[in-house]
Chain A
């Protein structure tokens, strides 16, 4: 079953701006992961945040997790045209054994 819902469904920004996308989920989790998908390609893992972490950074990526609100956000700073892709959150439910549940994704377009 689809657990994650992402917001917005689509986002269009100018190069150099920041992009923020949000993910909500329904049950308790071990961790939450963000993936990127270029058009017609497979998903690429970006970052994983554990349930006991509140914030994590990796390069231009910043992820936050609020387990009380069952939500997460992904911030991409100083966006580039090459960041154009779909971004998915995926939750690893407690007791789920790394059987991930993916959200519906946010389509990001970064224009020059």
Chain B
């Protein structure tokens, strides 16, 4: 079945450590997105990519980095510069163009040790 796979499901970060969240899709979608979700809040866009080897900052990119070397993969690195990284991170993908619903993975929950 086609879909989006995020791993790991749970991740713990030590102070000063960078951690990388994986996102892989087999839907043949060009566009991919990373969101952060805090308790009781909606989703906030961190980074998005419309095509391989290109990506743009979203609303809350500070302290995060991404790469898009393959169409299927869009990993997110939470750097030590992100001082409040505890959150639920969601990856999504879609076709490009108008009226393209986004398909989501099941998220990674990141906590601080």
Question: Which A residues lie at the B interface, using CB under 8 A?
Answer: 1-2, 4, 9, 30-31, 33, 40-45, 48, 50, 88, 92, 97-105
Contact B96 A98 (CB under 8 A): yes
With A1-B59, A42-B90, A43-B90 in contact, do A33 and B107 touch (Cβ < 8 Å)? no
With A41-B107, A42-B90 in contact, do A99 and B98 touch (Cβ < 8 Å)? no
Size category of the B interface is 20 to 34
Contact B105 A98 (CB under 8 A): no
Is B103 close to A, CB under 8 A? yes
With A88-B42, A102-B43 in contact, do A40 and B107 touch (Cβ < 8 Å)? yes
CA distance A101 to B6 in the complex (A): 22
The residue on B at minimum CB distance from A47 is B101
For B42, B100, B106, B107, the residue with the greatest tally of chain A CB atoms inside 10 Å of its CB is B42
Residues in B whose Cβ lies below 8 Å from that of A100: 45, 102
Cβ contact of B45, chosen from A42, A43, A88, A99, cutoff 8 A: A99
